[in-house]
Amino acid sequence: MRLEAVTAELRPRSDWEAIDLGLALVRRDFWSLSSIWLLGMSPMLLPAIWLLPEHPVWFCLVFWWWIPVASRLVLFKLSRRLFGDDPSKREVLREFPKAISRRFLFRMFWARLSPWRPLTMPVEDLEGLKGKAYSARCRVLMRRGDSSVILLAMWRLFLSFWMAVTILFTVALFIPDGSGQGWSESITLWLQGEKVVPPTSLSIMVIGSICCALGLVDIFSIGAGFGIYVNHRTWIEGWDVELAFRRLGNRLLGITSLLVFGLMGSLVMPADAANGAEVIEEVLDHEDFEVHKETIRTPKWDWLENWSSGSGSSSGSGGGSGVGGGLLEGLAVILKVGLIGGLLVLLAWLIYRYRHVFSRGSGGGGRIAKPQAKVVMGMAVAPESLPEDVSDTALRLWNEGQRHEAMSLLYRASISWMINQGGLEIAESDTESDCLRRAGQAEVRHLSYFDGLTRRWMSLAYAREAPSESDWERLCREWPFSERRVK
């Protein structure tokens, strides 16, 4: 397998993109693939036509049963063409006996009804695996969404039926008038539930349409399954990455050769290069190449130097005081740093351990005041946005014909009272139903009134159904969220 000779773009695709790739490969070589497919069917077709001319149903079953042999030849051609190799007729004929004999009993009996056949056939034919290795490889390939393979099998079944009916009716359009009278009578009697022997020509047409449909669908389904197989191996084995590295290596091959030749040329010494070492020594002896060193002592280790120098002296009280002073000073610094670090660690642990206290408040356990919503559903509910006497103002607006504004004022004033006086937590994004649900959960006062007001507000706002005059006047007079009422 030569990845650099591949004739399609190798990249990770979705399963449906992979199916499109396989269908494109079939369309590119459709006629050659069709001839190869007929070659694979010839060992069955010739004896069946001779032995089963009067049994079209058995002929159709044998035709369907032999299809995997022809599918293997199609897969052989597709795989070689994908990797830049066009097999000759001799190579196809050499592969023909292998397509029949390779695991004949398993493929033609046990696995004949498998819906995963378009995906598992490349594992068996192209990789040559069998037994446990074959099963493990199939599980790995089907791990990436075998649902697409199942849908492909359902597509094959539906398309075969649809194409067979289409071919049959298309041929029927070209039959001269009066020639198909026997066909019509047989179909009518069969639809009425009577046993009838159809004319031979009708049976041949039906079976021929089915066989043509099965052949066309099988060629394209093998291509679709091969596309899924190539895509799964690209995902698993990184074919696109390997191909990119190979192309990069080919591009760098010429540059590497030039570098090697240049390096070899630079190693060829001139005739007067014998004195090169002496010239280098003269250059390095120049004062410009003199190495300067500078030692800097850090102050934090002065006490250690004093202590070591004091311990080295054997006489004098000054030496003893130096030892004691430097050592105590160092110990004091260590203890100070350790104490401060320990306190910081302890403080951080206490804050983390009792972090719930800070979230709920300190002292008597009071809750932290949350910011109150000023606007709910696009309506201003801040106390400063409301008139002093809400019910009187709402009643006046109603009498002036501004019914929507009046109901809106009464409703948002109720929301404002529940937020500011009732302590109800209402978010700016809450809807009417959310406000009513929050009020019910908190069991606020005057819940029944708020429920009725909410329903009437929603009927007016969304259904354009205003309450009656008496109902509206009752809402204003019974508005419980203010000491001032309409008398």
d(CA 228, CA 146) in angstroms, rounded, equals 10
Whether residues 237 and 379 share a domain: the answer is no
- Determine how many CB atoms are found less than 10 A away from the CB of residue 56: 19
357 within some domain: no
> Are 381 and 373 in contact, with CB atoms under 8 Å apart?
yes
Distance separating alpha carbons of residues 305 and 308, to the nearest angstrom: 5
| Separation of alpha carbons 62 and 44, rounded Å | 8
Residue 295 inside a domain? The answer is no
How many residues make up the chain in this entry? 487
The pLDDT of residue 486 is 38
DSSP calls for 351-395: HHHTHHHHHH-STTTPPPPPPPPSEETTEE--GGGS-SSHHHHHH
pLDDT in tens, 209-259: 999 999 999 999 999 988 888 888 887 776 556 656 565 666 666 566 566
Range with the lowest mean pLDDT among 68-72, 100-104, 178-182, 301-305? 301-305
**Residue 44: inside a domain, yes or no?**
yes
With a cut of 70, say whether residue 326 has pLDDT above it: no
Of 64-73, 142-151, 165-174, 324-333, the least confident:
324-333
pLDDT at residue 53 in the model? 72
- Which pLDDT score is estimated for 285? 74
Phi, psi dihedrals of residue 375, rounded to the nearest 5°: -135, 130
Task: Confirm if 211 and 63 have CB atoms less than 8 A apart.
Answer: yes
The reported pLDDT for the residue numbered 34 is 92
Q: What is the pLDDT of residue 182?
A: 62
Domain extent for 405:
375-477
Last residue of a domain, one of 226, 245, 264: 245
pLDDT at 359 over 60: no
Last residue of a domain, one of 218, 245, 272: 245
* Of 373, 379, 484, 369, residue with least CA distance to 419: 373
Interval 288-309 mean pLDDT: 59
Same domain, 235 and 379: no
Q: How many domains does the chain have?
A: 2
Residue 468 lies in a domain: yes
pLDDT attached to residue 27:
92
Residue 170 inside a domain? The answer is: yes
Which of 181, 210, 245 is a domain's end point? 245
417 found inside a domain? yes
